[in-house]
């Protein structure tokens, strides 16, 4: 069984997402983000960097994370964690967030790019639709899973390192943890089982 | 009036959060993880963001207690999840989410909400649910200021601590999210700073 560790920033929304009954069983370890330096990452197949984890806590450990990826680990960077600051090969374009597209009669414009990816056996495009805060330029050879705004808002990179990086600008843990936006709960209902059961680590 | 110290949210919180810059005079902001280095007695009030590392804040509770004992005012936004101060109790979400439950009601007149129409808190661009979705249960002796739904769940309360100092609790997003709004909720930020920066003598309201 895939060993999944998640970072906890001590926020209320991480507490609800990581410790409450709905999802707690998915996590083999919950690591306080400020103690990341004390943890043996090689004990886990996947490191889930929870939404809105402070990048200033992650930057000092970018070499440790790079070594983890070099050994075949999987790093998952959720939304608003600034992964371009601590993961290799990440190119980020910050964009103003449109929280109100659904009131303005338009659509958010998400596109499912790679419907054969096993994630979409768990998560629908509707489950990923609330807002995004910008997009990424994935490196050549990476699989863009969801696109919007001229780039990727969820992609999987198995080419930059011997490991795997799943990078997204979606922040479901924040909104689920705030009792807000049901789509974010549906996203986690599919995304966490995908990571735990379907994802193929390269370790 | 004393100075207000705003703690910045954790940096991962993003650029989509409210900023008090330009809306508040005589206030300072500091980076999140510098709070333990600050001499709090230089300030009248400490205002905490909802994007708070509550484990960190709980680890420096002794210094916060000293600040309160000395007559300081603490403003908390968000859901209580981790042990921090004895006056804080874990967040209780609404039993269900519908318009009736999300309606914000004034329970006690308070300077922070003077002239604020509760409908402007219940609705944001016509949508309910931004203000609060539950409450952090108050300690005995606290005064409920606003309440949600038929049960009037106290999503805002104030408390004068017997040992000194005041606590203003808001169980939702940062109250300064309304800074510069076109509606009456824009009154909250200056009124909150006036109240928090005022002398903590007499009635806790």
The domain locations on chain B are: 4-197
Q: Is A168 on the interface with B (CB under 8 A)?
A: no
pLDDT in tens, A111-140: 888 999 999 999 999 999 988 889 999 999
- Which of B14, B60, B135 has the most A C-beta neighbours within 10 Å, making it the best mutation to test the interface with A? B14
What local confidence, expressed as pLDDT, does residue B170 receive? 98
Does the distance separating the beta carbons of A82 and B54 come in below 8 Å? no
Residue A119: strand, helix, or coil? helix
pLDDT in tens, A96-112: 777 766 667 777 788 88
Instruction: Give how far Cα B44 sits from Cα of B70, B116, B165, B168, B202, Å.
Output: 10, 24, 10, 13, 15
| Ramachandran angles phi, psi of A92, nearest 5° | -120, 140
Spell out the domain ranges in chain A.
Answer: 4-198
Q: Are B148 and B103 in contact, with CB atoms under 8 Å apart?
A: yes
* Alpha-carbon span A157 to A160, nearest angstrom: 7
Q: Are A27 and A4 in contact, with CB atoms under 8 Å apart?
A: yes
What is the overall mean pLDDT for chain A?
A: 94
CB atoms within 10 A of CB B59: 16
What local confidence, expressed as pLDDT, does residue B23 receive? 75
For residue B79, list chain A residues with Cβ-Cβ distance below 8 A: 12-13, 16, 178
Q: How far is A12 from chain B (nearest CA, A)?
A: 5
Q: Are strands A74-77 and A46-49 parallel, antiparallel or unpaired?
A: parallel
For residue B170, list its beta bridge partners.
B77, B156
Average of per-residue pLDDT across A27-34:
98
pLDDT in tens, B107-164: 999 999 999 999 999 998 888 999 999 999 999 999 999 999 999 999 999 999 999 9
Does the distance separating the beta carbons of B79 and A12 come in below 8 Å? yes
What local confidence, expressed as pLDDT, does residue A131 receive? 83
For the cut 60, the answer to whether the pLDDT of residue A13 exceeds it is yes
Average of per-residue pLDDT across A132-157:
94
What local confidence, expressed as pLDDT, does residue A107 receive? 76
* Alpha-carbon span B22 to B186, nearest angstrom: 13
What CATH fold (topology level) applies to the domain A4-198?
Rossmann fold (3.40.50)
For the cut 90, the answer to whether the pLDDT of residue A64 exceeds it is yes
Which of B13, B15, B125 is opposite residue A103, by nearest beta carbon?
A: B125
What local confidence, expressed as pLDDT, does residue B180 receive? 86
> What is the pTM (predicted TM-score) of this model?
0.94
Does the distance separating the beta carbons of A179 and B81 come in below 8 Å? no
* Residue in chain B nearest A98 by alpha carbon: B16
For residue B13, list chain A residues with Cβ-Cβ distance below 8 A: 52, 54, 80
| Ramachandran angles phi, psi of B14, nearest 5° | 105, 170
Q: Are A176 and A184 in contact, with CB atoms under 8 Å apart?
A: yes
Does the distance separating the beta carbons of B14 and A100 come in below 8 Å? no
* Residue in chain B nearest A179 by alpha carbon: B133
What local confidence, expressed as pLDDT, does residue B27 receive? 84
Query: Comparing A94 with B30, which gets the higher pLDDT?
Result: B30
Q: How far is A94 from chain B (nearest CA, A)?
A: 9
Does the distance separating the beta carbons of A9 and B12 come in below 8 Å? yes
Joined tokens for residue B122: 């219940």
Q: Is A98 on the interface with B (CB under 8 A)?
A: no
- Which of B12, B128, B170 has the most A C-beta neighbours within 10 Å, making it the best mutation to test the interface with A? B12
* Alpha-carbon span A162 to A68, nearest angstrom: 9
For residue B127, list chain A residues with Cβ-Cβ distance below 8 A: 103
Stretches in chain B below the pLDDT threshold 70: 13-18, 199-205
Tally the C-alpha atoms within 13 A of residue B1's C-alpha that lie toward its C-beta: 15
What local confidence, expressed as pLDDT, does residue A149 receive? 83
* Alpha-carbon span B52 to B32, nearest angstrom: 8
The answer regarding whether domain B4-197 maps to CATH 3.30.530.20 reads: no
Joined tokens for residue B108: 């006690």
For residue A56, list chain B residues with Cβ-Cβ distance below 8 A: 11, 33
* Residue in chain A nearest B126 by alpha carbon: A103
What local confidence, expressed as pLDDT, does residue B16 receive? 66
């Amino acid at each position: 069984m895939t060993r999944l560790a998640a970072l906890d920033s001590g926020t209320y929304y991480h507490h609800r997402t990581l410790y409450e009954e709905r999802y707690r069983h998915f996590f083999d370890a919950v690591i306080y983000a400020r103690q990341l330096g004390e943890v043996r990452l090689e004990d886990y197949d996947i490191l889930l960097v929870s939404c809105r984890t402070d990048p200033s806590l992650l930057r000092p450990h970018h070499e440790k994370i790079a070594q983890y990826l070099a050994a075949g680990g999987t790093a998952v960077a959720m939304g608003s964690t600034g992964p371009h600051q601590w993961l290799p090969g990440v190119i980020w374009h910050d964009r103003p967030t449109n929280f109100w597209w659904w009131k303005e009669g338009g659509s958010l414009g998400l596109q499912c790019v790679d419907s054969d990816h096993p994630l979409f056996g768990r998560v629908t495009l509707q489950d990923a639709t609330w807002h995004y805060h910008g997009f990424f330029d994935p490196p050549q050879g990476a699989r863009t899973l969801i696109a919007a705004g001229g780039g990727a808002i969820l992609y999987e990179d198995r080419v930059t390192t011997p490991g795997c990086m799943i990078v997204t600008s979606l922040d479901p843990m924040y909104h689920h943890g705030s009792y807000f936006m049901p789509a974010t709960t549906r996203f986690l209902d599919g995304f966490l089982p995908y990571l735990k059961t379907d994802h193929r680590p390269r370790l | 009036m004393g100075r207000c110290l705003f703690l910045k949210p954790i940096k991962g919180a993003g650029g989509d959060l409210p900023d008090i810059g330009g809306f508040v005079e005589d206030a300072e902001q500091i980076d999140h993880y510098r709070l333990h280095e600050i001499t709090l007695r230089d300030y009248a009030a400490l205002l905490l963001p909802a994007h708070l590392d509550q484990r960190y804040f709980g680890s420096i509770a002794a210094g916060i207690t000293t600040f309160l004992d000395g007559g300081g005012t603490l403003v908390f936004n968000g859901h209580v999840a981790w042990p921090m101060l004895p006056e804080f109790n874990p967040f209780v979400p609404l039993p269900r989410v519908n318009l009736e439950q999300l309606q914000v009601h004034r329970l006690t007149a308070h300077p922070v909400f003077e002239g604020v129409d509760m409908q402007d808190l219940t609705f944001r661009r016509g949508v309910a649910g931004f203000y609060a979705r539950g409450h952090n249960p108050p300690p005995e002796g606290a005064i409920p200021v606003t309440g949600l739904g038929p049960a009037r769940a106290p999503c805002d309360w104030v408390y004068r601590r017997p040992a000194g100092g005041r606590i203003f609790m808001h169980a939702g997003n940062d109250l300064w999210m309304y800074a510069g709004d076109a509606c009456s909720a824009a009154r909250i930020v200056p009124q909150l700073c006036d109240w928090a920066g005022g002398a903590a003598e007499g009635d806790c309201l």
